Structure 1
Amino acid sequence: MAACPPAPPKRLAPARLGPGDVLHIGSSGLRSRPVRVVLSALGIAIGIATMIAVVGVSASSQAQLMQQLDKLGTNLLVASPGDPTFAGEKVKLPQDAVGTVGRIAGVQEVGATGSVKASVRRTEKIAEENGGIQVVASTEGLLKVLRGRTDSGTWLNGASGRYPAVVLGDVAARRLGITGPGQQVWIDSRYFTVIGILAPLPLAPEIERSAMVGWKAAQKLLSFDGHPTTVYERSTDASVEQVRSLIAPTIDPQNPQNIKVTDPSAALQAKAATKGAFSSLMLGLGGIALLVGGVGVANTMIISVLERRYEIGLRRSLGATRGQIRLQFVTESLMLSGLGGLAGLVLGSLATGAFAYGGGLPWVVPLWSATGGFGATLVIGTVAGLYPAVRAARLSPTLALHAV
């Protein structure tokens, strides 16, 4: 009876590396060369910090603009005379424009100003130069429509609006050197007593540069003709577009084309959009810096492979597979990039916080920018470590040990 042939020897399976082993081996190169690690991670950190700071500063500025829009509202419309007619005549709004606009369905509040042909000076001894300040007649409801407030003093009412009293915009007050109520300014040919100074009005910058007197006082003391030059109305949010289409034909049914209707909040919205476009450009520059940092990581890993050939050969001779060698260096590259990414997140957030604190802005760092930026560092770390890892895995154990 023939003997059975001996069974072939079983092939030994390589030892499996657990997650803890992978992290320990991958971090060994980082622990042995801390200065190189810091310098390599710095490139990644600068790129991420730039991206986070750019996005954060832009988001903080936009958040402030959105807060202003929420506070001031986007339901304010302004009606004013259009361009002169073909005959060269200036368009005038009718005297009852405030009343007619107020009867439009959906309109909640209406106010108006009227241009007065008068100059305002600190005293009668000063020349005609008034620093660009205009004198306007104002209705009592104007401040409520604009959602403004007085920084000091009071607003015009039914009593003060009949007498030589004036409320100054904040810019007008600074240019005239008025610091508070009770002081007087020279308008036309008499003194008017300042009863209030307004806080800034982002949706009505023309009011900030105006001296406002009561409607009846302007007619009685300054020869005001009673025709408003600007009508401000605030409607419900749902009826803004409908009211916009009705204002011009309501004010002047025969020639609605002579009435110009504008939305003051559009300027803030355009400003927010402009900031977003500018941040996109800066974000691209931050991305370039991040790619440069990735090139630095790849260069560091290639040098690390060349310097650690003996270690690679020794591990291969002890049974480490090519896959384990690749995993070691990819992990090292990922950890190097991850450290740079975390440092960049901290630096970018701190830079955004410093800018926001200095400018009185809300501190906003979008979550998508933080997660996206850190994810980009991991992707770049993986890509940067692939070639050095493959190169390390291809080293022959015999040649690696012989070269030492």
Structure 2
Amino acid sequence: MSERSTGAGPLTVLKEGVVIALEAIRANRIRAGLTILGVGIGVAVVVIMAALITGIRSSVLEAFESAGPENFIVVRFDFTAVLFDSGDGRPPWWDKPIITPEEAERIGRLSAIDEALYNFQFSTNIESGSQQLTNINGQGYSAGWPRYAQGDFVAGRDFTPAEVRESRAVVVISEALAIELFGQLDPIGKTVRLSSPFRDVRDDFRVVGVFLPDENIFSSAVEHWLVVPYTAGLKRLKADDSQSQILVVPDSTYTSSQSRDEVIAALRSARGLGPRDDNNFAILQSAQLVDSFNRLTGVFFLVMLALSSAGLLVGGVGVIGIMLISVTERTREIGVRKALGATRREILWQFLVEAGVLTMLGGAAGLIIGGTLAYATAHFTPIPARIPLWSVGAALASAALTGMLFGLIPAYRAARLQPVEALRAE
């Protein structure tokens, strides 16, 4: 038990409180350890989720930036704002017309547009000799698609406009897919068989290029993919083009708004829309996609914060338990301190400091756990997890606040003890 005079300075009281708190934790290692673990788990969840979201967001922004911040996409409907209940059982975009190759060609001839690439996605199986892979991500494209999908050809070339017009059976595959199918052999000129997993169609395609995309979170998530001329995808593989789109690269001499206005005017004219008719298509820019991603990750982060608060709640209940036991075990000590002149305020502060120290240790443990998990995630997965400084402050603040809030009840109980009754306690 430490003695001190009434009216000791706040730093002295704080220092004394920390020392007594550490002595109490050492005397009750198991109870204190469980409380620290509960708080640590809650803090670790906050830290690792902040690291994951920060890393993913930076990767997404880098990916959009590398693909061209001024580029935009013409789509059938704005999927970032779509509602799936229109009252009649069908989604509101159901009757919107499909984007066509002719519209892509029309946009490509505009003065403000450098290139307009028709595109759709499909799933395909691929065979080469005894190797067979299923549900490979395939895309039908116009010639010149590497201008939008940043990367380099490590072998071969892109298909030509003539090969697109003639629906040639040529294919560009990813480097990872080339290694999976051919190992160290040169894949250029080799024949692969593509087939639809949903339709009874198959055809032989000749490999003309191997493409390695710039490293980002998207390229790491899908390593096996292929690209064929969109005409070949439609004719030979009967690919579904209901969600086709046009990837637009504006001319650098025009502003982004000028390019979009020309595209909108051209499509409205081609589709015969009157002045009062709404657009039956949508234009998406990188900023819209980023905003949509931020909303999604924001909701996800709130859910994870709610889950992590459960861990802090468990730790808080542990704080109440251990501090109530501590007050009961140290009733006589409290009586002695009051007899020597300690005020209710000082006793209250003493036990709040003890509760705060307990949860701060839990916060430190959570930071270590979360930091270790973030490092392992960044090292062993494609996600570049980064711990933002604000998450460290938020984690420690939430841990300290948990200790203070849940420590109020036992601290108030200790402060209310009468010196005479406390001195009688055994």
- Please report how far the alpha carbon of residue 15 of structure 1 lies from its aligned counterpart in structure 2 after TM superposition: 4.8
1:233 aligns with 2:248: yes
| Aligned-partner Cα distance in 1 for 2:245–2:422 | 85
| Aligned-partner Cα distance in 1 for 2:414–2:202 | 92
- Please report how far the alpha carbon of residue 233 of structure 1 lies from its aligned counterpart in structure 2 after TM superposition: 2.1
- Please report how far the alpha carbon of residue 151 of structure 1 lies from its aligned counterpart in structure 2 after TM superposition: 4.3
1:183 aligns with 2:205: no
Contact 2:56 2:385 in 1 (8 A): no
| Aligned-partner Cα distance in 1 for 2:98–2:318 | 70
- Please report how far the alpha carbon of residue 297 of structure 1 lies from its aligned counterpart in structure 2 after TM superposition: 0.7
Q: Find the counterpart in structure 1 of residue 318 from structure 2.
A: 296
Q: Percent identity over the alignment?
A: 25
Q: Find the counterpart in structure 2 of residue 144 from structure 1.
A: 147
Which runs of 5 or more residues in structure 1 are unaligned?
1-12, 125-129, 223-228
Which runs of 5 or more residues in structure 2 are unaligned?
78-92, 195-200, 237-243, 274-278
Find 1:263's aligned residue among 266, 281, 284: 284
| Aligned-partner Cα distance in 1 for 2:32–2:76 | 68
Please state whether the residue corresponding to 2:23 is helix, strand or coil: helix
1:199 aligns with 2:203: no
| Aligned-partner Cα distance in 2 for 1:279–1:400 | 48
Contact 1:200 1:208 in 2 (8 A): no
- Please report how far the alpha carbon of residue 63 of structure 1 lies from its aligned counterpart in structure 2 after TM superposition: 2.2
| Aligned-partner Cα distance in 1 for 2:390–2:94 | 51
Matched AA of 1:60: G
Contact 1:109 1:145 in 2 (8 A): no
Matched AA of 2:255: S
- Please report how far the alpha carbon of residue 171 of structure 1 lies from its aligned counterpart in structure 2 after TM superposition: 9.7
| Aligned-partner Cα distance in 2 for 1:396–1:85 | 78
Contact 2:67 2:150 in 1 (8 A): yes
Alignment coverage as a number of residue pairs: 366
Larger radius of gyration: 1
Give the alignment's TM-score, normalised by structure 1. Answer: 0.72
1:330 aligns with 2:338: no
- Please report how far the alpha carbon of residue 160 of structure 1 lies from its aligned counterpart in structure 2 after TM superposition: 9.2
Alignment of 1:232-251 (within 5 A): 232-235=247-250, 239-250=255-266
Please state whether the residue corresponding to 2:6 is helix, strand or coil: coil
Contact 2:336 2:419 in 1 (8 A): yes
| Aligned-partner Cα distance in 2 for 1:167–1:374 | 54
- Please report how far the alpha carbon of residue 342 of structure 1 lies from its aligned counterpart in structure 2 after TM superposition: 1.5
Q: Find the counterpart in structure 1 of residue 403 from structure 2.
A: 381
RMSD: 4.7
- Please report how far the alpha carbon of residue 306 of structure 1 lies from its aligned counterpart in structure 2 after TM superposition: 0.5
| Aligned-partner Cα distance in 2 for 1:391–1:133 | 65
Matched AA of 2:38: G
- Structure 2 vs 1, CA of residues 326 and 26 (structure 1 numbering), >3 Å: closer, same or farther? farther
Contact 1:30 1:37 in 2 (8 A): no
Residues 185-238 of structure 1 show CA distances to partners (whole Å, capped at 9, x for unaligned) of: 5799998753312235969x9x9543249x9xx9xxx9xxxxxx8653212798
Q: Find the counterpart in structure 2 of residue 168 from structure 1.
A: 172
Residues 30-57 of structure 1 show CA distances to partners (whole Å, capped at 9, x for unaligned) of: 3244203222222211111122222222
1:312 aligns with 2:334: yes
Contact 2:137 2:226 in 1 (8 A): yes
Contact 1:81 1:93 in 2 (8 A): no
| Aligned-partner Cα distance in 1 for 2:302–2:411 | 34
Contact 1:150 1:197 in 2 (8 A): yes
Matched AA of 2:59: Q
Please state whether the residue corresponding to 1:363 is helix, strand or coil: coil
- Structure 2 vs 1, CA of residues 362 and 185 (structure 1 numbering), >3 Å: closer, same or farther? closer
- Please report how far the alpha carbon of residue 282 of structure 1 lies from its aligned counterpart in structure 2 after TM superposition: 1.4
Q: Find the counterpart in structure 1 of residue 46 from structure 2.
A: 51
Q: Find the counterpart in structure 1 of residue 376 from structure 2.
A: 354
Residues 121-151 of structure 1 show CA distances to partners (whole Å, capped at 9, x for unaligned) of: 8689xxxxx9789896743x33224434324
| Aligned-partner Cα distance in 1 for 2:137–2:6 | 86
- Structure 2 vs 1, CA of residues 174 and 316 (structure 1 numbering), >3 Å: closer, same or farther? same
| Aligned-partner Cα distance in 1 for 2:39–2:76 | 57
- Structure 2 vs 1, CA of residues 15 and 173 (structure 1 numbering), >3 Å: closer, same or farther? closer
Q: Find the counterpart in structure 2 of residue 27 from structure 1.
A: 19
Matched AA of 1:19: L
Contact 1:185 1:194 in 2 (8 A): yes
- Please report how far the alpha carbon of residue 341 of structure 1 lies from its aligned counterpart in structure 2 after TM superposition: 1.4
Matched AA of 2:250: S
Please state whether the residue corresponding to 1:364 is helix, strand or coil: coil
- Please report how far the alpha carbon of residue 304 of structure 1 lies from its aligned counterpart in structure 2 after TM superposition: 0.4
- Please report how far the alpha carbon of residue 98 of structure 1 lies from its aligned counterpart in structure 2 after TM superposition: 5.8
Matched AA of 1:210: V
Residues 255-288 of structure 1 show CA distances to partners (whole Å, capped at 9, x for unaligned) of: 3559845438566764453233122111111113
